[in-house]
Structure 1
Amino acid sequence: MLCIIHHETDPYFNLAAEEYVLKNFERDSFMLWRNEPAIIVGKHQNTLAEINQDYVKENMIKVVRRLSGGGAVFHDLGNLNFTFIASGENHQLVDFRKFTQPILEVLQKLKIEARFEGRNDLTIDGRKFSGNAEHVHKNRVLHHGTLLFSSQMADLSSALKVDPDKFQDKAVKSVRSRVTNISEHLKTPLSVLEFRDLVLKHVMESTPGAELYSFTQDDIAAISRLRDEKYITWEWNFGYSPKYNFRKTVKTNGGKLEVTLEVVNGTIEKARFFGDYFNKLDPVDIEQALTGTLHNETAIRERLKDFEIPDYFLKINSEELITSLF
């Protein structure tokens, strides 16, 4: 097994690195990595329905879709991520207990009573510190998990706090759990990097043939290309979302404004405005302009830049209108 530690904290690069190793390496691999603040959404989720858009924008939190299913998770530098990539027979590939067992063994050495619970979680005293997901590609499986070590819980809660009434879709929904940091349960203080080194040491000592591996310049170049061509793009992170209906009501100086959108593959197929506002011109012009536009703030601003919004919604400005669309 190749044991890879890379010090890159760019979430776009790190998610691309997983796919690169999965599809280009023949040997089993293990990776430990951290991300700067980011929300990582499951492959089958509606991204906008999983994030607090205003909080994410204000705090410049990156949003990235991963290859595996499951729910959205918040990463920061107090969160350690682990990845196992292994080959095998198809019916033996998906095994959450197998790939989380080394983590439980490390915690047992630290005198922490942790356990595997439910479908894919690790807990301490009933509170979750690790969520896990898997993705199968041909005869290879990618298993990855979070390890909340010293994460900022307030940021985690705020970044993932979404109004459940905004979206109606068939996408996979995240299930929020009571969470805890590993550091809160340590008998002797450790830093997240010291904890990382303990995990690496245990995996190397318990896995026959394990050896350290560093990405070559060719590896880094290929991962960077995948990052730029896929993982950083709006099309992958937002446009890949399943079909959904969006609905939001805002109170403005011009009255109540309610917006409904039908969105397919990230593109608005139908927009409607309702409310007790007044108008000089018919808002149907705005509805028609939004049809065919990406449900993306930059694209919508560009499409509406030539409209005098207060003519269509008296005492409502363009910023209030755009806010109503997310």
Structure 2
Amino acid sequence: MFFIQGNSDITDPHINLALEEYCLRHLDMGHPYLLFYINAPSVIIGRNQNTVEEINADYVREKGIRVVRRVSGGGAVYHDSGNLNFSFITRYDRHHLNNFKKFTSPVIRALNRMGVPAALNGRNDIVVSGRKISGNAQYSNGKSMLSHGTLLLDSDLDTVVRALNVSADKIESKGLKSVRSRVANISEFLEKPMSMDAFRGCLLEAVFSPGNGLREYRLTDADWEGVHSLAQEKYRSWDWNYGRSPRFNIRRVRRFEMGQIDARIEVEGGEIRQIRIYGDFLGHGNVADLETRLTGIRYRSDAVRQALEGADLNRYFGKMAPDTFAEFLVAA
């Protein structure tokens, strides 16, 4: 097994997820690989999920938390500097698909050596005393596969809850919803504090045990160009992170100075397919004009603002700025 080096100072989730996929696609799978990465505050969405449904959009926007979709399935997770991500990248083997025990065993062994009574619970979670410290997922392209997971060493659990806290009664979706579990930091179960570097070192010792010495692999400059290109074209794109969300209906309700607005929006393929606006506002314009303007545009604030150019919102609602209305309609 090779340990992939060269990304220890990279905390951009767009690049780290692109690195993971690039390695899956391009490395020689005659050998298995291990990759570690740490992301700046971010919510990582499962491949089949509705992004808007999984995040607390107002909180995420306020805190500058990045939202990125990954290639593997499963639920949404929160990453920050207190969370270490690991990824085993190997040749495809149907016997290893959904075999989370195989890939989590060295991690659990390392945790046990640290005095943390961790165990695999159910299909893909590592838990301690019934509390989740690691979530895992897999992806395969038929030639190669990756099995990756989180390790909450000392993450901000308050932010975990806030960033992923969405009002379930406001959105109806055909996407795969996350199942929220009680989470804990590994640090709670350690006898004494441990730095992230020391923690990572213990994991490496467990994976690369005697007789299976640590071997390093470094990407070439051309490889890194490919990683950054993939990050730019895919992982930074709205189409990948939001537009791939399955069809969903969202309700946005807010009371403004001139009255309450209740918007019911149907989104498919990242575009507004239908919108209906209700409320007790006292404008005299026909809101059907606005509904027509907004139908068929991307469900993102800049597209809404552009569609509203030239529209006199005061005529429909009373005092209302286009930016305020766009921010109200778009949840993310």
Q: TM-score, normalised by structure 1?
A: 0.96
**Partner residue of 2:24?**
22
SS in structure 1 of the partner of residue 159 of structure 2: helix
C-alpha deviation, 1:201, in angstroms: 2.2
The aligned runs of 1:65-144 (5 Å cut-off) are 65-144=69-148
Distance 1:36 1:59 in 2: 12
> What is the match of residue 51 of structure 2?
47
Q: Alignment partner of 1:270: what SS?
A: strand
Q: Is residue 212 of structure 2 the alignment partner of residue 208 of structure 1?
A: yes
Offset of 1:246 from its aligned partner? 1.1
Aligned match of 2:256: 252
Spell out the pairing of 1:1-20 with structure 2 (5 A cutoff).
1-5=1-5, 6-7=7-8, 8-20=10-22
1:321 aligns with 2:325: yes
Q: Give CA deviations for 1:41-89 in whole Å, capped at 9, x if unaligned.
A: 0000000111111111111111100000011000001000000011143
SS of the counterpart of 1:145?
strand
Which SS does the other structure have where 2:14 is aligned? helix
C-alpha distance in 2, partners of 1:60/1:92? 37
**Partners of 1:262 and 1:268 in 2: CA distance:** 6
Which range is displaced more, 315-324 or 90-99? 315-324
Computed over aligned residues only, the root mean square deviation of the Cα atoms, in angstroms, reads 1.5
- Residue number in structure 2 paired with 1:172: 176
| Structure 1 residue identity aligned to 2:162 | S
Q: Secondary structure at the match of 1:242?
A: coil
Gaps of 5+ in 2: none
**Structure 2: distance between partners of 1:308 and 1:251:** 20
Deviation of 1:319 after TM superposition, in Å, equals 4.2
Match of 1:263, SS? strand
Q: Deviations over 1:92-145 (max 9, x none)?
A: 333111111111100111111111112210111111010000111113221110
In structure 2, the partner of 1:37 is: 41
Q: Give SS of 1:162's match.
A: coil
Task: Show the counterpart of 2:316.
Answer: 312
Instruction: For residue 295 of structure 1, report the CA deviation from its aligned partner.
Output: 0.5
Contact 1:88 1:139 in 2 (8 A): yes
Q: How far is 1:320 from its partner?
A: 4.1
- For 1:56 and 1:234, locate their aligned partners in 2 and report how far apart those are by CA, in whole Å: 16
The 3 A distance-change label for structure 1 pair 267 and 277 is same
> Contact between 1:252 and 1:320, CA under 8 Å: does it hold in 2?
no
CA contact (8 A) 2:15 2:227 kept: yes
Q: Deviations over 1:173-212 (max 9, x none)?
A: 0111111111111112211121011112221226736511
Return the offset for 1:316.
Answer: 3.9
Counting only pairs closer than 5 Å after superposition, residues 189-204 of structure 1 correspond to structure 2 as 189-204=193-208
Aligned residue-pair number = 326
Take 1:295 and 1:155, find their aligned partners in 2: how far apart are those partners?
26
Percentage identity across aligned positions?
41
**Preserved CA contact (<8 Å) 2:252 2:328:** yes
Residue 2 of structure 1 aligns with an amino acid whose one-letter code is F
Q: Could you say which residue in structure 2 is the equivalent of 1:231?
A: 235
Which is worse superposed, 92-101 or 68-77?
Answer: 92-101
Deviation at residue 249 of structure 1 after TM alignment: 1.6
Paired AA for residue 88 in structure 2: F
Structure 1 stretches of 5 or more lacking a match? Answer: none
1-side partners of 2:190 and 2:224: how far apart? 36
Residue equivalent to 1:154? 158
Inter-partner Cα distance in structure 1 for 2:210 and 2:192: 24
Secondary structure class of the residue paired with 1:123: strand
Within 2, Cα distance between the matches of 1:257 and 1:246? Answer: 14
CA distance in structure 2 between the aligned counterparts of 1:194 and 1:302, rounded to whole angstroms? 50
TM-score, scaled to structure 2:
0.94
* Residue identity opposite 1:10 in structure 2: D
- Superposition map of 1:277-296 within 5 A: 277-296=281-300
Distance 1:4 1:207 in 2: 19
Instruction: Please give the alpha-carbon distance, in whole angstroms, between the structure 1 residues aligned to 2:216 and 2:257.
Output: 62
* Distance change in 2, residues 1:43/1:290 (3 Å): same
- How far is the alpha carbon of 1:323 from its aligned partner? 3.5
**Residues 109, 91 of structure 1: CA spacing in aligned structure 2 closer, same or farther, 3 A cutoff?**
closer
The worse-fitting range, judged by mean Cα deviation, of 80-89 and 34-43 is: 80-89
Question: What is the deviation of 1:218?
Answer: 1.4
Deviations 1:277-325 (A, max 9, x none): 1212111111111111110011111211322212111244434422431
CA contact (8 A) 1:37 1:62 kept: yes
